[in-house]
Structure 1
Amino acid sequence: MLSKETILNKIQILITNHFSTPEDAFSFFDKDGDRKLSKDEIVKLLKEADINGFIRGRISSKLIEDYDKNGDQLINWEEFKSAYDEISDESK
């Protein structure tokens, strides 16, 4: 399985190469516009980040577990921004 660092690096590359801002990326993957990313929406983000289909479901569950601070099983903008900031800090 890919390391957390590898997965986060692929997500960072996707966001920085294809979107002007992290907010643009969040809005793009928030298909229903509820300002929260569901597991299915995170799976689509992982697909775009070139994460292997076999492990996308497991990785999306782990990302929710790691970054969902309010326990609603969704990633809201603040949680997404926190995760993105962590990714950005690790790449420096």
Structure 2
Amino acid sequence: MATKDMILGKLQTLITEDFNNPEAAFAFFDKDGDGKLSKKEIVRLLKKAEISGFIRGFVASKLIDGYSKDGDAQVSWDEFKAALDEIKE
């Protein structure tokens, strides 16, 4: 199974190679423009990052569990940025 570091690395590569900045990446995947990434939107992000379809739903749930600090089962910009800051460490 894919490791957390491998998945976060693929997300980092996607964001740095396909977008001018993290804000552009977040806006691209925030399809409904509500300022938060839903599980469905995170699954799209994982697909674009070439995470296996077999584990995308599981990984999306784990990302939400790990980074959604306000309990709304979505990832806000601040939570997304916190995840990116963790990737850079």
Using the size of structure 2 for normalisation, the TM-score is: 0.99
Distance 2:82 2:21 in 1: 14
Q: Alpha carbon RMSD of aligned pairs, Å?
A: 0.4
Query: Which amino acid in 2 is paired with 1:73?
Result: A
Distance 1:85 1:22 in 2: 11
5+ residue gaps, structure 1, are none
User: Which residue of structure 2 lines up, in the alignment, with residue 12 of structure 1?
Assistant: 12
Distance 1:18 1:77 in 2: 18
User: Which residue of structure 1 lines up, in the alignment, with residue 29 of structure 2?
Assistant: 29
Query: Which amino acid in 1 is paired with 2:85?
Result: D
1:47 aligns with 2:47: yes
5+ residue gaps, structure 2, are none
Distance 1:21 1:71 in 2: 27
**Paired positions, count:** 89
Query: Which amino acid in 2 is paired with 1:86?
Result: E
Give the secondary structure class of the aligned counterpart of 1:41.
helix
Identity of aligned residues (%): 61
1:88 positional shift = 1.3
